[in-house]
């Protein structure tokens, strides 16, 4: 990418000149990477934390035992925003055995230097280290406990019993922020053992990755103590974690693996850890059994942090979470929040094996961490809660978002080349998590569950406590697949999967039938939202190994996912004896592969007729999901007439399952989003009310909440759309409930609104109210003790139609003195931008305040990308695109850590404009019939 090469030209060359002029490794060092001349083996970190109001700081010392792989006179490591007194830095040679007078000999230091742009700390020695020898580096350091949500930072909360604000200090090191806390070799492949000692005032508690060994007084500091923690297993710096706080904990339910499990939270929220306390140990035991590898640590702590940038972080033995991702309140939290919490807990615990035990060598293979944790978390949740149908639900959710994002030219491969570390944060995205997960599901389904599980287990055992690349995983899976004969001996997993992980995008498979011969030709090409020019099409050489599993009206075998044929990169596939001419065929059973399927018009008509004649359940649920998703997107892109797509969609009036409705409405939402500011929006709403008639009849009562989770989700979806499309009694029910709540003498203790429709009711109460309703809900936010409830309220406050309230709300979102936490500010912006009235205000706010927003999040933020994509989603005019491009160009320095998101946003806007120009009038005719 251009930003990487530019950065290297201007900075990396200077670093190399300073550090390595005339030294042996000059040619081996990339400007942004550490050389492997010196590698760490063991860190001892002494860290004293000060949480006094006039001095939020930390100071300490780190001793790093290193090995010199090559002779060198430069020790290069990482440090950022730390103060290091040069005179107190030392390097000693550690003699082997009885070193006599030479043992622990000091190595004279010529000078030390910070290279700010590279975040390097360099110790230049007067004579070189000896290859093969070991040395002890000692570095004192100090730093500020900021509120940046990165490195070692501080977070606050209001303690109701003490009636005061309390502070805590906690770490967030992924991906490159351990260097903010102590000098270190901050790359994932440089694993080492860590011994952590935490100093703090006696009334506070600390926790770290390993169990507490003992506590001793700090000499010369009355009222202060050292907490000494056991040696860790070898691990990467980004997994080191510690916290100093006044939190309390509850023990998890005991299991037979003897792992001590604790859930920590602030005192006022400790009653909300019950669900996590129950499910956490069960997930840990499940993964031990699934991977056939014992959890290697004696304990597992999970902590709910009030201010936390990510959803959660898988630090080994000390997982940190946003409160909304760990805490569940039985009285007020929704069913959706329970499922979310379960999935996040399972995801982070899966990381203890995938990511922690075996770690990617470099961030290029981040997907090995995130894709795997996402996929096997689904298995864990499905095992524990089979009635939730999480395996299919997650497949559909992943498919829909990946189909959308990965159809852009500006997407990226799953295994993405990373140069400058500034690019790392940008790939913690849908592609690494959801596409990675979907590809693993695809592989699981074409190899078979047992082959997949055994191959993964062998991979973990072979690389435990070390680092690996995707090729190592492919080799382990190939060995198992060949043993079980689930893959032809002439074919390897690498040959298949490299086409999916090293290329951007995914294919559309076109099935053209010969109805007289009963055969079909199957071809492939890359699916793109913006069609290629003739010249671009000539250069486009993308090709995939595509597993073709299919069934017919006669067979009706929608559970078989083992491919009958592989569509390869050499030729189209010819399939014979496929089906009778008056019978349909459906490819990609169970939506097992990450590809779209387009049929000839006759086959589409056969499928549409089956869906509409009452026999729709003869087609498997996941394939009904894909038929709707594909048809609506083909119509969106011009590969199908909208008349055919709407013919398929019309069957939803009969559909009684959640997932097909989720698919249909998700894709219709794209149309709704672009019509919202147009003259035909009223007609579209009438069309949608007609489509929703039957399920709304079933689920219209807000008071009647189904018992099955799948039905609860279906009800929430249908009722949400019905109110959005202004179904009269839907809105009246919501307003009645809101007024009833507002009339309660103690509304914080007594809320009559069912938890699964609260977000909807809150939004409508504010939308159809005024300042009084807004202020009332804001007060509820301030008084709420439940993170999930606060999240619902923040979203609902963006529903008001009063311009001045929306402008005030936007200003509050980046005001550090308001009660909106930094982690939630972008969510407030999104809530306003989704509002019909608020869109223009949000766009203006972004354009006018981009420097303030950037400063609010800090210098290395990728959050600005979310702001840009939120406003770009709704753009439909060329003038808006020109304005967006100008904004991005003028603020390219502020947006450099959001380069990927802004590029994708511009392309998405082009897609919107093209659609609006081509199909607005056609949609107008269809929705007014």
Task: Name the nearest CA neighbour of 428 among 151, 170, 174.
Answer: 174
CA angle 329, 331, 333 (to 5 degrees): 50
Could you write out the DSSP letters of every residue in 744-769?
A: -SSTTT---S-GGGHHHHHHHHHHTS
Task: Name the nearest CA neighbour of 114 among 126, 125, 106, 123.
Answer: 123
Task: Name the nearest CA neighbour of 144 among 180, 120, 184.
Answer: 180
The first and second tokens of residue 436, run together, are: 């990675």
Contact criterion met (CB below 8 Å) for 231 and 194: yes
Distance in angstroms (rounded) separating the CA atoms of residues 46 and 62 = 6
Q: What is the DSSP letter of 45?
A: E
Contact criterion met (CB below 8 Å) for 366 and 427: yes
Contact criterion met (CB below 8 Å) for 313 and 320: yes
Annotated ligand binding at 463? The verdict is no
Q: What residues contact residue 608 under an 8 Å CB cut-off, 6+ apart?
A: 644, 647, 648, 651
Q: Three-state DSSP class for 229?
A: strand
CA angle 768, 665, 553 (to 5 degrees): 160
Annotated ligand binding at 347? The verdict is yes
| Number of neighbours of residue 253 by Cβ within 10 angstroms | 11
| Number of neighbours of residue 57 by Cβ within 10 angstroms | 17
Task: Name the nearest CA neighbour of 60 among 210, 234, 200, 201.
Answer: 200
Distance in angstroms (rounded) separating the CA atoms of residues 868 and 749 = 39
User: Would you please indicate which residues are annotated as catalytic (active-site) residues?
Assistant: 348
Strand 193-201 versus strand 38-52 pairing type: parallel
| Whole-number Cα distances in Å, 804 to 142, 264, 771, 801, 915 | 45, 40, 10, 9, 33
The first and second tokens of residue 662, run together, are: 């989720």
Partners of residue 511 on adjacent β-strands: 522, 599
Q: Using only C-alpha atoms, what is the Rg of the chain?
A: 29
Residue carrying the six token digits 């009800």: 715
| Whole-number Cα distances in Å, 815 to 730, 808, 834, 839, 855 | 36, 11, 21, 20, 11
Contact criterion met (CB below 8 Å) for 575 and 592: no
Task: Name the nearest CA neighbour of 529 among 405, 389, 644.
Answer: 405
Residue carrying the six token digits 């400063």: 855
Instruction: Provide the CB-side half-sphere exposure for 166 (13 A, CA).
Output: 20
Q: Using the CB atoms, write b or e for 779-808: b if 16+ within 10 Å.
A: ebbeebbbbbbbbbbbbbbbbbebeebbbe
Annotated ligand binding at 203? The verdict is no
With helix as H, strand as E and coil as C, how does 817-870 read? CCCCCHHHHHHHHHHHHHCCCHHHHHHHHHHHHHHHHHHHHCCCCCCHHHHHHH
Task: Name the nearest CA neighbour of 919 among 638, 611, 684, 531.
Answer: 638
The first and second tokens of residue 152, run together, are: 């070692």
CA angle 687, 688, 692 (to 5 degrees): 125
Residue carrying the six token digits 């007289």: 516
User: Which residues are annotated as part of the binding site for Zn(2+)?
Assistant: 347, 351, 370
């Amino acid at each position: 990418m251009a930003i990487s090469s530019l950065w290297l030209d201007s900075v990396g060359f200077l670093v190399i000149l300073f550090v390595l002029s005339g030294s042996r490794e000059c040619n081996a060092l990339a400007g942004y990477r550490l050389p492997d001349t010196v590698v760490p083996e063991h860190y001892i970190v002494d860290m004293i934390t000060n949480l006094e109001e006039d001095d939020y700081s930390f100071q300490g010392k780190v001793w790093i035992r290193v090995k010199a792989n090559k002779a060198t006179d430069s020790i290069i490591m990482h440090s950022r925003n730390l103060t290091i007194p040069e005179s107190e830095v030392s390097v000693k040679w550690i003699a082997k055995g009885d070193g006599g007078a030479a043992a622990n000999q000091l190595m004279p230091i010529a000078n030390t230097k910070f290279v700010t742009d590279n975040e390097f700390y360099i110790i230049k020695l007067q004579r070189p280290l000896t290859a093969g020898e070991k040395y002890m580096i000692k570095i004192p350091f100090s730093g500020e406990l900021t509120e940046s949500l990165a490195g070692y930072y501080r977070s606050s909360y209001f303690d109701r019993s003490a009636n005061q604000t309390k502070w805590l200090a906690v770490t967030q090191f992924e991906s490159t922020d351990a260097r903010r806390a102590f000098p270190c070799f901050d790359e994932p492949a440089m694993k080492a053992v860590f011994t952590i000692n935490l100093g703090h005032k006696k009334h506070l508690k600390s926790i770290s990755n390993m169990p507490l060994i003992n506590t001793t007084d700090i000499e010369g500091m009355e009222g202060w103590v050292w907490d000494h923690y056991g040696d860790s297993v070898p691990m990467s710096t980004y997994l080191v974690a510690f916290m100093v706080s006044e939190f309390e904990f509850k023990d998890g339910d005991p299991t037979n693996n003897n792992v001590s499990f604790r859930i920590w939270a602030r005192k006022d929220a400790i009653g909300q850890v019950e669900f996590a306390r129950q499910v956490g140990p069960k997930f840990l035991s499940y993964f031990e059994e699934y991977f056939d590898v014992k959890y290697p640590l004696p304990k597992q702590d999970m902590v709910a942090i009030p201010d936390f940038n990510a959803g959660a972080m898988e630090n080994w033995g000390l997982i940190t979470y946003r409160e909304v991702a760990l805490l569940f309140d039985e009285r007020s939290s929704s069913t959706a929040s329970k499922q979310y919490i379960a999935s996040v807990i399972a995801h982070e615990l899966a990381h203890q094996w995938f990511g922690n035990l075996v770690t990617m060598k470099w961030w290029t293979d981040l997907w090995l961490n995130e894709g795997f944790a996402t996929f096997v978390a689904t298995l864990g949740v499905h095992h524990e809660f089979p009635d939730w149908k999480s395996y299919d639900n997650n497949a559909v959710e992943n498919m829909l978002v990946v189909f959308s994002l990965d159809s852009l030219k500006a997407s990226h491969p799953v295994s993405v080349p990373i140069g400058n570390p500034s690019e790392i944060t940008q790939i913690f995205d849908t592609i690494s998590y959801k596409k990675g997960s979907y590809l693993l599901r695809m592989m699981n389904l074409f190899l078979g569950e047992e082959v997949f599980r055994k191959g993964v287990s062998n991979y973990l055992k072979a690389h435990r406590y070390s680092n690996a690349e995707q090729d190592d995983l492919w080799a382990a899976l190939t060995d198992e697949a060949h043993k079980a004969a689930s893959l032809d001996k002439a074919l390897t997993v690498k040959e298949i999967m490299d086409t999916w992980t090293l290329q951007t995008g995914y294919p559309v498979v076109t099935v053209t039938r010969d109805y007289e011969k009963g055969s079909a030709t199957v071809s492939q090409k890359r699916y793109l939202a913006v069609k290629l020019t003739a010249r671009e099409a000539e250069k486009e050489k993308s090709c995939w190994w595509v597993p073709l599993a299919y069934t017919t009206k006669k067979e009706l075998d929608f559970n078989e996912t083992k491919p009958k044929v592989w569509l390869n990169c050499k030729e189209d596939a010819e399939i014979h004896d496929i089906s009778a001419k008056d019978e349909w065929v459906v490819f990609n059973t169970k939506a097992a592969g990450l590809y779209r399927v387009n049929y000839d018009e006759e086959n589409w008509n056969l499928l549409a007729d089956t869906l509409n004649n009452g026999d729709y359940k003869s087609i498997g649920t996941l394939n009904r999901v894909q038929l709707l998703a594909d048809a609506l997107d083909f119509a969106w892109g011009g590969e199908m007439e909208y008349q055919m797509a709407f013919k398929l969609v019309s069957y939803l009036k009969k559909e009684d399952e959640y997932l097909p409705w989720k698919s249909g409405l998700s894709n219709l939402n794209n149309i709704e989003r672009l019509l919202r500011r147009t003259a035909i929006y009223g007609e579209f709403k009438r069309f949608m009310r007609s489509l929703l008639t039957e399920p709304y009849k079933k689920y219209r009562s807000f008071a009647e909440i189904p018992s099955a989770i799948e039905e609860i989700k279906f009800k929430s979806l249908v009722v949400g759309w019905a109110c959005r499309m202004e179904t009269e009694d839907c809105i009246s029910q919501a307003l009645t409930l809101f007024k009833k709540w507002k009339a309660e003498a103690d509304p914080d203790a007594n809320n009559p609104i069912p938890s699964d429709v609260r977000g909807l009711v809150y939004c409508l109460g504010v939308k159809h109210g005024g300042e009084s309703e807004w202020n009332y809900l804001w007060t509820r936010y301030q008084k709420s003790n439940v993170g999930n409830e606060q999240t619902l309220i923040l979203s609902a406050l963006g529903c008001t139609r009063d311009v001045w309230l929306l402008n005030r709300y936007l200003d509050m979102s980046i005001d550090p003195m308001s009660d909106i936490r930094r982690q939630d500010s972008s969510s407030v912006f999104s809530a306003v931008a989704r509002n019909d009235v608020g869109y223009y205000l949000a766009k203006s706010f972004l354009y006018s305040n981009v420097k303030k927003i950037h400063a609010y999040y800090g210098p290395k933020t990728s959050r600005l990308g979310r702001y840009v994509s939120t406003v770009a989603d709704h753009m439909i005019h060329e003038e808006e695109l020109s304005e967006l491009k100008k904004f991005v160009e003028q603020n390219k320095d502020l947006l450099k850590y959001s380069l990927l998101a802004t590029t994708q946003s511009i392309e998405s806007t082009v897609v919107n404009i093209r659609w609006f120009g081509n199909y607005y009038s056609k949609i107008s005719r269809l929705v007014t019939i």
